[in-house]
Structure 1
Amino acid sequence: MEAYTVKIKRMIAILFAVSLVTTGAAGCSAKKDGDGKKEAMGRYVEKQVELPLKEDEEAVALTEDSGNGAVLYSRNMEDGTYKAYRYDGGKFEEEDASWLNSAIKSGGTLSKVVKGDDGSLYALYGDENAMTHIIRKDGSSSQEIGIPDLAVKDSNGIYPLISGMRVDKEGNIFLAVPMNGEVVMYDKGTGGKIRSFQGNQFSGLMAMPIDVRDNRILLAGPDGSGLVCYDTGSGEVAEEIKYADMAEGGILRLGDSDDCILADSKGLHHLTMGGSMAEDLVDSSTSAFGIPQTNIMDLAQMGKGDYTVLLSVQETSGRSTHEMYRYVYDKETKAEPSHTLRVYGLEESAAVRQAIVKYQQKHPDVGIEYKTGNAGEGTGTKADSIRALNTELLSGSGADVIMLDGLPADSYIEKGILADISGVLKEAGKESDMRDNIIKPYKKDGKIYQIPTRYGIPLLIGASSTTEAFKSADALVDYMKDHAWDDVMNQVDKESLMKLLLNMYYEDIIDKNKQIDTKLLARLMETVGKAEDNGDGSVTSSSVWSSDEGQTESDWDVGKFGSPDKKDTLSSKEMKGIQGMMLPYHYLRKEGASPSDVNGIFVPHDIAGINKASKNTDLAEDFVKMLLSEEVQSIDVENGFPVNEQAMEAWIQSVEETPDEEGGGLSITVGEEVITFPHQSEVKSLAEIGKKLTVPVQKDDIIGEMILDGAKTYFDGSRSAEEAAEDIAEKADTYLAE
């Protein structure tokens, strides 16, 4: 598939908490409770700061001002002018920003404002040609700091990308170049390069964490295992901080002594030079930092134990708004919540993370432990994680809320592990309508033990005549007797095809009694075995984002679409959100084609159940209602469409009928083509397809892995298809009997 570049007009984030108490470990004291027991007191409290911006303004930068609060800078989206607002911790007051407006002309974009160690204000902005400029405030006007390197294009005709700037006490400029991980020090007078400091290479979309103070520069180390502090005079390493848990990107602030503050997607941390441990002042699991797709723009330290953070927040429409949060240490707040709710999922979920923050906003006295069975977090496999969970549940313990994706939910229901949550659905339905076609398949004898809170829509994209071959497993087997896979789906391999067919025909391969149809499975393996693996593996339709934290690739995403020499071929794609519609619907629009659903199938996501043995049933029910709420479901985190009808309508209304790449949303470039957000009518049409889907494909991940592993023994010639199918069935029977 052609390489494509991501062109982001605004950075990524998600709407989240308004006033949230977060965990923090600094300086705990003790207070006696009603029983005379001592309770640990003191933690950081997170509160949203209401921004002073008008409807046509957007926040662009935040800078601290040496004990005089912080200054927020905004841009008027209509005329491109800038304003400044001083924030003292309580209110905003507008200040003169003419020094910016006199320098940044039409088409220019401000990216950073910093208070240098020399006491002056500096700004970093790009002009209409994407060339970076640096200016220093001089009264009501400004002076440009000439740096010749910024005017030199690379071999592709692109000016240097600069993601950060700091200024030392002498006025020398430090610029972060994320593409090669360097921070370059430039002379304040000549603009010539003095020396460079090697840090970690980050994506061009990420801000490199750097700070300069006195004669020190601190940045992420080259190996990504922590922070490194250089002496700016000699260029030698002065200190290091080993910190293996670092997230990519973030904001750094050097302290008065040998310490620093790091704000990243994992929270707000205090670290000490030469150390290897971080003190988590604010943890991402209970704060705005942990919301998926959040971008930290700036951090201002208002005083000791007082931090203000500016975040960009991406709406479902793809456009960005901005949020500001203040973190203040409160010694009168309990260090630990009064109650604990335990949530378990086999894999990390962005939607669950979002619901946790929203829930704790409303229940600050409830802490949530969110654990996953992801391989890599421990030493075991997915099967080990499931067995460990099963042991807990069968013994009457385990998590209060269980996200059942990939788990043997039917077995849990048969063994009486899951509680009837039809009452939860009824209560949630009083506030918003739920998609009955998605919920109805989960009703058993008038009861509901599991609820999919989101769902994916698998589509076949391409030649409509070929889609008929996928109507059933038998039809496909017959069709492929006279056709080659290369003429049906372009650039696929055996493994990806086997995953796709397992999704499509899971209910045919494994009946309601969990018995495997070995004859059908063998025939499907033989059909898949006709595919010729290409050297690069399967080429699937790609996500808009280069990295989606908390999201997994879909096994439905198989085959290349948009190939000019293979117009009659199909590709398969699971639609899980509006962003993921961009590339497929661009192709459909271009070809004048319509997508087809896959035999009425939908993919349930974030399937919630409650442990019948839970001692926190009320809290668990409230959490499931939060997962179903319009408040949570109205945000697109690319993990499925909402089952909440009001939320789905909000998604539709958030998208323009004819999105414009200049309109502030997202766009990607494939070759010469610019691909924008899908049209509102397309989102509405896909929602209508979603209303007709009635067949959930909810796989037991362990059985799925057994089938895929067994199929490989046929593909590599170790066994016949029949032998492989029989072996798979035997292993599945043993697993189900455990």
Structure 2
Amino acid sequence: MNQKLTKFICFLTTAILLCSCSPKGGGDAEKADSPAQAGTQTGTQTEAASDGQSPAGEGTASWRKTEIQKPEGAVYINSMNYLADGTLRINSSDADGQNPAVWDSRDNGGTWENADADTSLASDYGYHYSADGSLFIYDSTKLTISAGDGTESRSVSVNEEETISEAAMAGNTLAVLVYDQNSQLRLDVYDLSSMSCRTLENGELSEYLNSQSMGGIALDSSGGILYLTMGGTGELKIARYDLNQDRFSYLAESEEMARLLNPEEKNGLVNPNEKILLSIAVNGAEDKMVLRMLSPANSQTTLYLCEKGIWEEEKTASEGTLRIYSLYGGYEIRQAASLFQGMHPELEVSFETGYTGEDGVTLSDAIRTLNTELMAGEGPDLLVLDGLPADSYAGKGLLEDVTDIVEPSKEKYFYNMISAYNDGGKIFKLPTAFSVPVLLGDEETLAAENRDELMKVFEKKEDAGIPFITPENLAGTAGSLFITSDILGETVDEGKLADFYKDLEKIASQSMSDDERQEMEAYHKMTYWAETLYPSGGFSPDLELYFGEAQAGVGRISIYENFIQILAVRREKGLSYQYLNRENGNYFVAESVLGINSTGKHPEAARQFLEYYLSGEAQETMHFGHFSIIRSVMESTDREKYISENGEFIGQISRKYTPEKVMNLYKITPDELQELITFFEGCSRPVRDDALVLRKVMEQADACLFGGKDPESAAKDVCSEVNLYLSE
């Protein structure tokens, strides 16, 4: 790859990181599109009504978005602006970042022709033009204006540790957006006749610049009006600043921009084609603007024409609304619902989240509200059962039998988990993803088949000089030990729960000092684990075992990285893994569990969605959080990245506070992959993880370990609160 191409890719990589992560943003990365943005857009038309961009009300002007077809061979759009006569000008390059071209369109992107434009300056990052067609180029530190008319070229440079982010030129004005050494954005405005500079100090403008992420700027043809768009996603507004009257306002408010940028994000669905806004161009009448947008999913750019007017709302006949409900949300199912909506425009699809923790609705309120709806025959059509009393729903006849959907193709799935989750009978609850809790350690530790046996191993090893389990792993250990126990049955067993709390106290006392216990951060405690980390994340104990900082660990195998780290511990330290609390069966965590409401209003649509999800088509288009119940998806996910014949070295990892200690990682061999698959095939018992129960149990665990509460009182308080709920 040549130097120009390498710089090109680095440039855009910085842009994406800053635009996605930085609260204030900066850098010059977004002025050019990268060759990593492979693919040419087809230019399909997308009208406002079908995108959910209907006007706010009858007679109210609003923006409507239409995709612009790029010129043939124009893969990357490096810049764009409106010329003084209304011509839209873009600078493009091909798929290799080569063969720059300048194109003009006199009908707002409807047709294109090669422009007779100045290209006399050499640039790695594309050409830029003023409203009168004058050429200028810039990189992160210097901007150069072409002589053009035979005079000397002029240039602008920024100070050390500052970066040029964006620039625009029109009339007698050059505006430069600078990211300074204090991580702040500022606007420098140059008078082109004298090249004198002034920094804009309008308070509203400064607040706007530094309260959002980086973005683009543009000028009107006179150079008197400055347009700004700060922020790639979120509540983006396009600002308008009158340079002559020092007046700040908005050309498009956040609600309007939300409709334009993420039109499919309605009814709780996600936009599978979400894009980041890189830059804008606005015409003289301010009734048309062009958006240059980047798709993080495929690193491609697209141009959209937005027109302001009063539009007639186009209404399409709907066969009804397929309601999909999840207690916590869940990106994979939401994204699949969005894709399903695109396949079935005749059916409106909505995704509802019962509990967000942000609207005053408690977890128990959310579950009771859903239960009331279901019992009244008014509930959602499709339920994501994670955290819900799924067994109770099935027992009361609230879930439809979907055996006929799954059984004919059961060899396609890890059917052992599907069957176990339904007690070996008819299928009412369908787990579509899973993870497996595991115990890590030496042979003596792995021989423990239940918590009592594990505690006996602990008592033998508690004077070894290093923690049995690290403090950071305590919350995950507590949660995993609970969900793989028999404490929770039809109700919570108060005596067993009190014993559980006593065992946690023994482990905690050996794992940390009193001072360490007092200083324990909230995100390492049990309540945080139950509220935020389970089932999606948690602390991995593999490195502690690898570096001899713990004797045992409790983790989960949910993605290939987990297994690769466990194999490293086994290879280098002779330690291994086993099912956790396996005395009464080999536990697994069922995730993204789907069930069809037997009294729902759209049972056929719900079945269609379930069949679509089981096809694996949706999962193949996205990064799947945990292993899929669909064998082909699980085995093909990132296969080239993680699996090879010879198990080649792929890198190292370490903790931030131990950079001198690294774990060597190797790809999984086919034999090791078969070992993992066989391990999954041995799973025979789902964990009990009712969300409300789990949270209350973990809250009282914190009260015991960090608040001095006695285990018996803690267990009693849990049972008095949750057993009534469980018996409803």
TM-score normalised according to structure 2 size: 0.70
Separation in 1, partners of 2:574, 2:437? 16
- Per-residue CA deviation, residues 474-527 of structure 1 (Å, 9 max, x unaligned), is 233223334279623434275554334334x2x432236665633542443333
Task: Give the superposition deviation at 1:380.
Answer: 1.4
Matched ranges for 1:394-413 at <5 A: 394-413=375-394
Conservation of the 8 A alpha-carbon contact between 2:693 and 2:722: yes
- Per-residue CA deviation, residues 682-737 of structure 1 (Å, 9 max, x unaligned), is 79956862553224335100000111122233224554213322332333211112
Conservation of the 8 A alpha-carbon contact between 1:123 and 1:136: yes
Task: Give the superposition deviation at 1:321.
Answer: 3.7
Distance 1:161 1:118, change over 3 A: same
Separation in 2, partners of 1:576, 1:94? 53
More deviation in 450-459 or 617-626? 450-459
Identify which of 464, 478, 482 aligns with 1:502: 482
Query: Secondary structure at 1:410's aligned position in 2?
Result: helix
Residue matched to 1:692: 679
Identify which of 549, 570, 589 aligns with 1:603: 589
Identify which of 263, 268, 286 aligns with 2:260: 268
Conservation of the 8 A alpha-carbon contact between 2:128 and 2:136: yes
Residue matched to 1:180: 183
Residue matched to 1:480: 458
Distance 1:59 1:714, change over 3 A: same
Identify which of 391, 395, 406 aligns with 2:372: 391
Q: Does 1:102 align with 2:119?
A: no
Residue matched to 1:317: none
Separation in 1, partners of 2:56, 2:78? 31
Distance 1:698 1:731, change over 3 A: same
- Per-residue CA deviation, residues 100-133 of structure 1 (Å, 9 max, x unaligned), is 99322xxxxx4x87665565565554xxxxx545
Distance 1:732 1:444, change over 3 A: same
Residue matched to 1:148: 157
Residue identity over aligned pairs, in percent, reads: 19
Residue matched to 1:244: none
Identify which of 356, 361, 366 aligns with 2:337: 356
Query: Secondary structure at 1:384's aligned position in 2?
Result: helix
Distance 1:333 1:71, change over 3 A: farther
More deviation in 612-621 or 60-69? 60-69
Separation in 2, partners of 1:97, 1:470? 77
Residue matched to 1:198: 206
Distance 1:307 1:148, change over 3 A: closer
More deviation in 89-98 or 414-423? 89-98
Residue matched to 2:300: 322
Conservation of the 8 A alpha-carbon contact between 2:354 and 2:366: yes
Q: Does 1:215 align with 2:221?
A: no
Residue matched to 1:73: 92
Query: Secondary structure at 1:310's aligned position in 2?
Result: strand
Residue matched to 2:30: none
Conservation of the 8 A alpha-carbon contact between 2:543 and 2:654: no
Separation in 2, partners of 1:142, 1:569? 76
Separation in 2, partners of 1:434, 1:140? 70
Residue matched to 1:170: 172
Residue matched to 2:54: 25
Q: Does 1:632 align with 2:618?
A: yes
Conservation of the 8 A alpha-carbon contact between 1:182 and 1:199: no
**Computing the radius of gyration over CA atoms, which structure comes out larger, 1 or 2?**
2
Residue matched to 1:310: 293
Separation in 1, partners of 2:79, 2:662? 32
Query: Secondary structure at 1:451's aligned position in 2?
Result: coil
Aligned residue type for 2:177: L
Distance 1:447 1:289, change over 3 A: closer
Identify which of 41, 60, 63 aligns with 2:80: 63
Separation in 2, partners of 1:654, 1:97? 46
Conservation of the 8 A alpha-carbon contact between 2:128 and 2:137: yes
Conservation of the 8 A alpha-carbon contact between 1:147 and 1:191: no
Aligned residue type for 1:414: G
Distance 1:231 1:27, change over 3 A: closer
Query: Secondary structure at 1:361's aligned position in 2?
Result: helix
Aligned residue type for 2:353: T
Identify which of 600, 608, 611 aligns with 1:614: 600
TM-score normalised according to structure 1 size: 0.69
Distance 1:591 1:212, change over 3 A: farther
Aligned residue type for 1:63: M
Residue matched to 1:715: 705
Distance 1:63 1:525, change over 3 A: same
Residue matched to 2:400: 419
Residue matched to 2:429: 450
Conservation of the 8 A alpha-carbon contact between 1:439 and 1:452: yes
Task: Give the superposition deviation at 1:216.
Answer: 3.9
Task: Give the superposition deviation at 1:436.
Answer: 2.3
Distance 1:440 1:24, change over 3 A: same
Conservation of the 8 A alpha-carbon contact between 1:220 and 1:227: yes
Distance 1:656 1:388, change over 3 A: closer
Residue matched to 2:627: 641
Separation in 1, partners of 2:572, 2:150? 53
Separation in 2, partners of 1:515, 1:521? 11
Conservation of the 8 A alpha-carbon contact between 2:235 and 2:255: no
Task: Give the superposition deviation at 1:576.
Answer: 5.0
Aligned residue type for 1:22: D
Distance 1:560 1:514, change over 3 A: closer
Aligned residue type for 2:629: V
In terms of fraction of residues, the more strand-rich structure is: 1
- Per-residue CA deviation, residues 559-604 of structure 1 (Å, 9 max, x unaligned), is 56646964555565556556x7699589869968887364354333
Matched ranges for 1:243-322 at <5 A: 254=251, 259=252, 266-268=258-260, 282-285=263-266, 290-291=271-272, 295-298=276-279, 310-314=293-297, 320-322=298-300
Conservation of the 8 A alpha-carbon contact between 2:403 and 2:427: yes
Separation in 1, partners of 2:493, 2:51? 48
Separation in 1, partners of 2:316, 2:115? 38
Gaps of 5+ in 2: 1-11, 21-36, 525-530, 581-585, 645-650
Separation in 2, partners of 1:497, 1:229? 50
Conservation of the 8 A alpha-carbon contact between 2:129 and 2:135: yes
Separation in 2, partners of 1:96, 1:676? 58
Root-mean-square deviation (CA), in Å?
5.4
Q: Does 1:704 align with 2:694?
A: yes
Residue matched to 2:472: 492
Residue matched to 1:440: 419
Distance 1:173 1:573, change over 3 A: farther
Query: Secondary structure at 2:606's aligned position in 1?
Result: helix
Conservation of the 8 A alpha-carbon contact between 1:491 and 1:539: no
Separation in 2, partners of 1:654, 1:185? 48
Aligned length: 641
Gaps of 5+ in 1: 1-6, 31-41, 105-109, 126-130, 154-159, 242-253, 270-280, 315-319, 541-549, 659-664
Task: Give the superposition deviation at 1:410.
Answer: 0.9
Residue matched to 2:725: 735
- Per-residue CA deviation, residues 167-225 of structure 1 (Å, 9 max, x unaligned), is 45434233253983423325366586634552468899x5446555533454569xx98
Aligned residue type for 1:737: S
Query: Secondary structure at 1:419's aligned position in 2?
Result: coil
Conservation of the 8 A alpha-carbon contact between 1:72 and 1:86: no
Distance 1:558 1:719, change over 3 A: same
Conservation of the 8 A alpha-carbon contact between 2:127 and 2:135: yes
Matched ranges for 1:75-90 at <5 A: 76-77=95-96
Residue matched to 1:277: none
Aligned residue type for 1:349: G
